[in-house]
Chain A
């Protein structure tokens, strides 16, 4: 079943779904016959999102920021430039903004109006990020949303919500877990979850990494 499977008016009936599949196929046929699209180009786009572009890219950036204070400074100043300086990955477009969690401030990213998401560094957004429950509540009850993810923060921690209402994109730099001194960038990257870079989760602890 496709996205948004928890809202009340979902089209989950098999007949409607297959009808949609047929309509999508028909549209691709028409666009191809008219010469508007090349199926091989469409294949390449799907393949990129299924195999190459994902949260491992963001995790590598965050791990580098944890390990290298100069890189972290550069990342917070201009995340697009810093990410592209790392190389060996699909380039990142303009206006990526890194926001840092601290002991007194936790950042959470949402797009209340649609689904804006830093997909170049995190891959395609999960269904919940695009869903009505998240988009409606993140700006009015972020602690309730965090509770849905099993995250509880001290009451005096500032919760800063970033609503992605323009063509700027936000990447949360979570706090480095304790007990990871001297770890390699690769090992650190394994602690960085997708949700910790959206702000709905925390990185894995040093203990969890070993499990």
Chain B
């Protein structure tokens, strides 16, 4: 989806401003949003990719005008409504008004340590890897209206495969409930000049982690 979340290479956002001794959360509600997000993610009702997609689908001005945890909250609310877990009258009332939907599983305090370890998205290979380190590749020029992890700045560009990461859940299908559809994942490195033109600092190299369907031989 070509939305504002895909920010690589944009101009005009100003300098990076770091905050000294920044706390993990600036307001208690931010921690609650993070925790609700983790707890509802644990239910397996949706994939991590669908979670990202729901934030990318926010209207552009809302995406830019919201703080990070505000976006998470809006994305979570959207998913809960979309999947019928919560209804609009309940949000308005601030209380449950309808019976709950069944959950595949529910996060208890005993299971919290499991949510503090990142999930493993590698899956058994269903085919032989098409590329190997050193291969020259070109990224495809794709513009799906749905979730993808190929950033716009790296589409239609020539690069070199640097590493093979294994076969992983394919976000483009997992985000739209079309299955894990595991695909080989590669580190692909590009020169700054390939991405940004001949005037670019020659010392710059950028790599992305690219799924095999994003690539063709070059």
Of A40-48, A67-75, A177-185, which binds chain B? Answer: A40-48
Q: In the complex, are the beta carbons of B6 and A112 less than 8 A apart?
A: yes
Query: How many angstroms from the CA of A163 to the CA of B14 in the assembled complex?
Result: 20
Query: How many angstroms from the CA of A27 to the CA of B160 in the assembled complex?
Result: 47
Taking CB atoms and an 8 Å cut-off, the chain A residues in 28-59 that contact chain B are 28-31, 33-38, 40-46, 48-50, 53-54
Number of A-B contacts (CB under 8 A): 296
Q: State which of A119, A139, A159 has its C-beta within 8 Å of the C-beta of B195.
A: A139
Taking CB atoms and an 8 Å cut-off, the chain B residues in 125-170 that contact chain A are 149-151, 153-154, 165-166, 168-169
Query: How many angstroms from the CA of A167 to the CA of B111 in the assembled complex?
Result: 22
| Chain B residues within 8 Å of A9, by CB | 61, 64-65
Residue of B nearest to A37 (CB): B39
Residue-by-residue, is B28-41 near A (CB-CB < 8 Å gives 1, otherwise 0)? Answer: 01111111101110
Q: In the complex, are the beta carbons of B16 and A137 less than 8 A apart?
A: yes
Give the number of residues in A that approach B within 8 Å (Cβ atoms). 92
Residue among B16, B33, B73 with most chain A CB within 10 A: B16
Known A130-B68, A140-B8; contact A20-B73, beta-carbon cutoff 8 A:
yes
| Chain B residues within 8 Å of A149, by CB | 16, 18
Residue-by-residue, is A151-185 near B (CB-CB < 8 Å gives 1, otherwise 0)? Answer: 00001111111111111110000000000000000
Residue-by-residue, is B55-72 near A (CB-CB < 8 Å gives 1, otherwise 0)? Answer: 100000100111111100
Residue-by-residue, is B165-186 near A (CB-CB < 8 Å gives 1, otherwise 0)? Answer: 1101101000000000000010
Known A3-B26, A127-B68; contact A45-B185, beta-carbon cutoff 8 A:
no
Q: In the complex, are the beta carbons of A94 and B86 less than 8 A apart?
A: no
Query: How many angstroms from the CA of A138 to the CA of B195 in the assembled complex?
Result: 13
Q: In the complex, are the beta carbons of B16 and A148 less than 8 A apart?
A: yes
Residue of B nearest to A169 (CB): B118
Could you tell me the distance in whole angstroms from the C-beta of A74 to the nearest C-beta in chain B?
Answer: 17
Q: In the complex, are the beta carbons of B153 and A166 less than 8 A apart?
A: no
Could you tell me the distance in whole angstroms from the C-beta of B80 to the nearest C-beta in chain A?
Answer: 8
Q: In the complex, are the beta carbons of B149 and A126 less than 8 A apart?
A: no
Q: State which of B39, B100, B189 has its C-beta within 8 Å of the C-beta of A42.
A: B39
| Chain B residues within 8 Å of A148, by CB | 15-18
**Does A206 lie at the interface of the complex (its beta carbon under 8 Å from any beta carbon of B)?**
no
Query: How many angstroms from the CA of A195 to the CA of B20 in the assembled complex?
Result: 11
| Chain A residues within 8 Å of B24, by CB | 49-50, 54, 123-124
Q: In the complex, are the beta carbons of A46 and B32 less than 8 A apart?
A: yes
Q: In the complex, are the beta carbons of B66 and A31 less than 8 A apart?
A: no
Query: How many angstroms from the CA of A28 to the CA of B32 in the assembled complex?
Result: 8
Q: Identify the B interface with A (CB < 8 A).
A: 5-11, 13-19, 22, 24-27, 29-36, 38-40, 43, 48, 52, 55, 61, 64-70, 73, 76-77, 80, 85-86, 90-91, 94-96, 100-101, 103, 106-109, 111-113, 115-122, 149-151, 153-154, 165-166, 168-169, 171, 185, 187, 189, 195-196, 201, 203-211
Given A42-B35, A49-B25, output 6 extra A-B contacts at Cβ < 8 Å: A29-B95, A30-B96, A130-B68, A136-B10, A137-B16, A163-B207
